[in-house]
């Protein structure tokens, strides 16, 4: 009678192990790995052993999920950005860096740093990375293939990163250990480290020198080969995906993981191929369920149009004129019978005496694949700093003069799980209380899932799939005479 097993059931597997019976004693010649005439230093020996240990661990384990603490807030009156902490160097040192999905490279301020801020009103330390103080730091040479996109005119793998707001960071590339917190099993977390390439920035301009929002650098999470996501996934120690859930309060916090946040109500839309940023196809916009009369070509990607970009490094949300004005007018029309704008010629701000949820409409961004991002009033309205009632709330959408461009920043990304599935070339989202625990996994296709709390690293197993591992016994030919082979059954 045929027998079937459910997933997770114990399965009896008959394996065959080959046993070699040989003549003994056998003689082996041993030689030193290093010459006594040219001794190797202790630091190099430890480094060689460390590399070997990481190779062994990579062969034995599947990609890990790494979690990071989150601070900051979407509110432009307080910070207008979210940041995390990375640990670099030997001995490890902490650096608070802005989370930015709109750029590729990780960079930190380095010593000497010309004109760099030494403090921040975000109440986080602004540390400088010193390559000479880390025993595992090394320069990236011009001949290194990882320097192919950099400038080597001064015989150093140099870079200059220019951002959309006009800010710049320039310096040179180094490699060093990044120390990572592995989301563990059974409320146990562990640490790992990986050698990564990042920018050592000696000069910054623009907002990066603003002490109100100064950080120690930027964690670029783009799709380029030098992004931390690409580097860790190429080594096989992390999935090619990351996720975040930013708390939409002035206290900030939230969750950021390299891996997948698992949520049953997740909605996905495909990424646009061959684009530098996380571009998606926005097809239409609705207010209270009514599709606005906006030509779909407004959102198309063309030679002079960038389409729609998901960017955690942007504070607000920006629309070209062809989309911006219809959105604002539709919102104003929807609340006309309840509240009046403070400026009748510019219906952006309103004095409110009751809950905004009872007055303002839902705005829906409708994407390719049928997925819609529904924005509640608190997802697009900004409270102003008012002392007395009534409270003043303003529409956080802004007009951008670049035609055919939409940039969705933290204003609309907060209070949502956002999953960047680079491997599957899609982005997913779901409304969520980002102060609650979440399930994370190294894959979206089953496997192990753990629960992570915002601001914490404690985890627990919530579901699993039992995987059968097949063991292949091989015969080592050692150059000695062997008589015969026999097979021993092995039960699991």
Q: What does the block give as tokens for 322?
A: 């062809």
Collect all residues with Cβ–Cβ distance below 8 Å to 215 and sequence separation of at least 6.
81, 83, 96, 97, 98, 120, 122, 124, 126
* Residue-wise DSSP of 239-284: -SEEEEEE--STT--EEEEESEEE-TT-EEEEBPTT-SS-EE-EEE
Q: How far apart are CA 3 and CA 45, in angstroms?
A: 54
Per DSSP bridges, beta strands 158-162 and 106-114 are unpaired
Q: How far is CA 427 from CA 259, 304, 443, in A?
A: 13, 24, 14
SS3 131: helix
Which of 438, 437, 420 is closest to 429 using CA atoms? 420
Peptide bond between residue 91 and the one before it cis (omega within 30 degrees of 0): yes
SS3 351: strand
Collect all residues with Cβ–Cβ distance below 8 Å to 261 and sequence separation of at least 6.
243, 245, 255, 417, 419, 438, 439, 440
Residue 274 Ramachandran class (φ > 0 left, ψ -120 to 50 alpha, else beta)? left
Collect all residues with Cβ–Cβ distance below 8 Å to 153 and sequence separation of at least 6.
none
* Whether residue 49 lies in the annotated active site: no
Q: Which helix (H) or strand (E) holds 76?
A: none
Which of 279, 281, 271, 397 is closest to 332 using CA atoms? 397
Residue 357 Ramachandran class (φ > 0 left, ψ -120 to 50 alpha, else beta)? alpha
Instruction: For residue 316, count other CB atoms closer than 10 A to its CB.
Output: 20
Catalytic site residue from 75, 100, 104, 176:
100
Per DSSP bridges, beta strands 81-88 and 363-367 are unpaired
* Whether residue 311 lies in the annotated active site: yes
Peptide bond between residue 275 and the one before it cis (omega within 30 degrees of 0): no
Catalytic site residue from 75, 104, 176, 311:
311
Q: Which helix (H) or strand (E) holds 320?
A: strand 317-320
Q: How far apart are CA 312 and CA 420, in angstroms?
A: 12
Question: Which residues are marked as active site?
Answer: 100, 311
């Amino acid at each position: 009678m045929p027998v079937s097993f459910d997933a997770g059931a114990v399965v009896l597997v008959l394996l065959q192990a080959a046993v070699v019976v040989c003549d003994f004693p056998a003689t082996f010649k041993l030689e030193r790995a290093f010459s006594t005439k040219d001794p190797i230093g202790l630091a190099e020996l430890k480094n060689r052993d460390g590399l070997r240990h990481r190779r062994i661990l990579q062969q034995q384990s599947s990609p890990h999920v790494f979690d990071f603490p989150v601070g900051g807030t979407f509110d432009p009156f307080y910070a207008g950005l979210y940041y995390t902490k990375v640990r670099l160097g030997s001995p490890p040192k902490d650096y608070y860096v802005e989370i930015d999905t709109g750029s590729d490279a990780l960079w930190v301020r380095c010593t000497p740093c010309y004109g760099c801020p030494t403090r921040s009103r975000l109440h986080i330390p602004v540390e400088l990375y010193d390559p000479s103080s880390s025993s595992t730091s090394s320069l990236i040479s011009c001949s290194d293939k990882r320097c192919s996109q950099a400038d080597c005119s001064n015989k150093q793998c140099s870079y200059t990163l220019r951002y959309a707001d006009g800010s710049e960071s320039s310096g040179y590339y180094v490699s060093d250990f990044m120390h990572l917190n592995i989301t563990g099993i059974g409320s146990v977390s562990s640490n790992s480290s990986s050698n990564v390439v990042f920018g050592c920035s000696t000069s910054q301009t623009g907002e990066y020198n603003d002490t109100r929002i100064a950080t120690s650098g930027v964690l670029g999470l783009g799709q380029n080969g030098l992004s931390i996501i690409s580097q860790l996934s190429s080594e096989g120690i992390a999935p090619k995906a990351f996720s975040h859930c930013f708390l939409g309060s002035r206290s900030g916090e939230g969750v950021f993981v390299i891996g997948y946040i698992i949520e049953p109500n997740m909605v996905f839309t495909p990424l646009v191929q061959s684009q530098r940023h996380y571009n998606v196809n926005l097809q239409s916009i609705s207010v209270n369920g009514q599709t606005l009369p906006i030509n779909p070509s407004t959102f198309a990607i063309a030679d002079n149009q960038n389409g729609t970009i998901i960017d955690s490094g942007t504070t607000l949300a920006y629309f070209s004129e062809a989309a911006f004005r219809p959105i604002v007018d539709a919102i104003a029309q929807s609340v006309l019978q309840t509240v009046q704008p403070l400026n009748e010629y510019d219906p952006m701000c309103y004095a409110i005496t009751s809950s905004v949820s009872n007055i303002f409409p839902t705005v829906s961004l409708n994407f390719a694949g049928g997925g819609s991002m529904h924005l509640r009033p608190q997802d697009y309205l900004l409270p102003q700093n008012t002392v007395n009632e009534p409270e003043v709330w303003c529409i956080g959408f802004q007009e951008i003069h670049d035609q055919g461009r939409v940039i969705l920043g933290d204003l609309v990304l907060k209070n949502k799980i956002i999953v960047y599935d680079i491997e599957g070339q899609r982005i997913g989202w779901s409304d969520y209380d980002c102060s609650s625990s979440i399930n994370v996994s190294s894959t979206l296709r089953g496997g192990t899932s753990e629960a992570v709390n915002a601001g914490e690293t404690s985890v627990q197993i919530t579901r699993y799939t039992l995987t059968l591992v097949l063991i292949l016994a091989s015969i080592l030919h050692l150059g000695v005479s062997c008589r015969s082979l026999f097979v021993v059954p092995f039960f699991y």
